[in-house]
Amino acid sequence: MACSYPVFAPNFFVDTEKLLVAAKDELNLVLGFFPRVESRSSVVLAIDTGMAGFLAASAPALHSFSFWMAVTGIATLVLLSVSIGFLYAGSAPNLKGGEGSFVYFGEISIHREHKFIESFCEQTEKAYANDLLGQAWRNANILGVKFHCLKWAFRFMAIAIPPWLVTLFLFANSGTHSTLLKP
């Protein structure tokens, strides 16, 4: 599947070398966004687990839970669990695709080393550029899923903050202290 229309200017990609450079640049541009989403996902995961851990450490003995402690505590844990679920979904996206690619690691790994090298060297520059563009497109799809999941994980974490604060307030005013961390 070759570029059938000019993107930048008429006949810009007539030169295969320009197409190859543009394809590499496009793939690198898309790949450059992955560290951003991964680092933000790590922050949300740390906050989610920190909130859950602090809640557990602050909890009084189960027999002293009031109705509202249970309701707000369960609501908080459900919201944080959904947030973590979105983070998990974003960390393990569907990697299907790239059939016959000499750029995609999943397809490269199914070949024997010699066969991969031989097949890679036999392809034309234009075929390689198309393969790079296909990989850029597929990575952009994966990145879209990751950002979507991160957005929803963040939203559920933010929604969990009010019931978390109320639960902590109820725990603090219950008159009993946590026995979770005591020997």
* 159 φψ region: left (φ > 0), alpha (ψ -120 to 50), beta (else): alpha
CA distances to 48, 69, 76, 148, 156 from 159, in Å: 11, 17, 9, 17, 5
22: pLDDT strictly greater than 90: no
Residue 19 CB neighbours (<10 A): 22
Q: Which of 49-53, 63-67, 96-100 has the lowest mean pLDDT?
A: 96-100
Amino acid at 85: G
Residue 123: partners with Cβ closer than 8 Å, 6 or more residues away: 102, 131
**Which pLDDT tens digit goes with each residue over 112-141?**
888 888 888 888 888 888 899 988 988 898
What is the mean pLDDT of the segment spanning 13-33? 83
**Which pLDDT tens digit goes with each residue over 134-143?**
889 888 988 9
pLDDT for the residue 177 = 57
Radius of gyration of the chain from Cα atoms? 25
Distance CA 168, CA 86 (A): 25
